Amino acid sequence: MRMVAGKWYYKYGEDVKDEEEARQFRQIIKELTGFGGASNPAEFVPILQWMDYGGLEKKLKSLSKRTDEFLQALIDEQRCKEEEGNTMIDHMLSLQKSQPDYYADQIIKGLILDMLFAGTDTSAVILEWAMTNLLNHPNILKKARDEIDSQIGEEKLIEESDVSKLHYLQSIISETLRLYPAAPLLVPHMSSVDCTIGGYDVPSGTMLLVNAWAIHRDPKVWDDATSFRPERFENGEVEGHKLIPFGIGRRTCPGAGLAQRTVSLTLGLLIQSFEWERVTIEEVDINEGSGITMPKAMPLEAMCKARPIMHKLLFKSTDDV
């Protein structure tokens, strides 16, 4: 939310200007993510729709009203400020002046929600799975660290523009997205006309789910399908559409490039800056929990200590002061 509205809602202390507002936001996000993973029986048994089975529709309507009011208040607050800032809302409000029909408040609120839901948990989950697999495969972690040390050196931290040089790091991310796609069933689609898919007749208006998780682990499509082996991506492009963590076609994820850059940069910095170890001799648990973005069943715990580059850079920055 710092990028979106210039506010901290998850940090405690002096950076949180309004604790009540932060509490409200955290509550809204908690409820929205909870509903994101909920399945609604009424979508499969239409008769349940008119009796609002489980009260889901009523709860969602009340939550969407609170969310809408909260986001509207944020937009109004930014609009009333005398100085124009550098947040996402500021930029969209300035576009609203030149294109008022397109950048209506309703669209701005939708874009904020997109950023929050489609963009944050997905990237965080991928990072957690990548670190889990690196801790379970210390040889892969070492190879990634060696690549970073040889390509970037020990005098500076990785920057976004360096990521394209780190091919092995990117293979690790592709392999993580293959085995642990953050949206394992992509996003539900609906057939707009009668069609045939894989020999099955599908009437128009049918909900279609693509099981990317199963495609990514299909032994007919991948060698040694269930092993974590980033080397399989080292020779460049993957043929066909067998790797689809971001979907394909017109509704493919528009944040794919951003996600790949932020995940690569963050993972690269974690590897470059710290030595990582498991907290026990046993491998880190790789069971999948439930939820729309396929989290780990058990949150990752790991030990780390700063690598020499951190000491060097920290002392350098103290010297500069």
Residue ranges for the binding site for heme?
Answer: 253
Degrees, nearest 5: CA angle 46-49-55: 140
Q: Does 129 bind ligand HEM (CB under 6 A)?
A: no
3-state secondary structure of 96: helix
User: How far apart are CB 67 and ligand HEM at their closest, in Å?
Assistant: 17
CB closer to ligand HEM, 96 vs 122? 122
- Core vs surface per residue 52-80: b (16+ CB within 10 A) or e: eeeebeeebeebeeebeeebeebbeebee
Binding residue (CB under 6 A) for ligand HEM from 60, 95, 113, 115: 115
User: How far apart are CB 107 and ligand HEM at their closest, in Å?
Assistant: 13
* Biggest CA-to-CA distance, the chain: 71
Q: Does 135 bind ligand HEM (CB under 6 A)?
A: no
Q: Does 247 bind ligand HEM (CB under 6 A)?
A: yes
- From the list 20-28, 45-53, 78-86, 243-251, the region that binds ligand HEM by CB under 6 A is 243-251
Contact indicator for 28, 35 with CB cutoff of 8 Å: no
Tell me which amino acid residue 290 is: S
Q: Does 123 bind ligand HEM (CB under 6 A)?
A: yes
Write each residue from 249 to 268 as x if it is in contact with ligand HEM (CB under 6 A), else as -, in one continuous string: --xxxxx--xx---x-----
Alpha-carbon distance of 147 to 304, in angstroms, equals: 19
* Residue set of the binding site: 253
Q: Does 209 bind ligand HEM (CB under 6 A)?
A: no
Alpha-carbon distance of 82 to 53, in angstroms, equals: 48
Q: Name the residues that contact ligand HEM, by CB under 6 A.
A: 114-115, 118-119, 122-123, 126, 182-183, 186-187, 245-247, 251-255, 258-259, 263
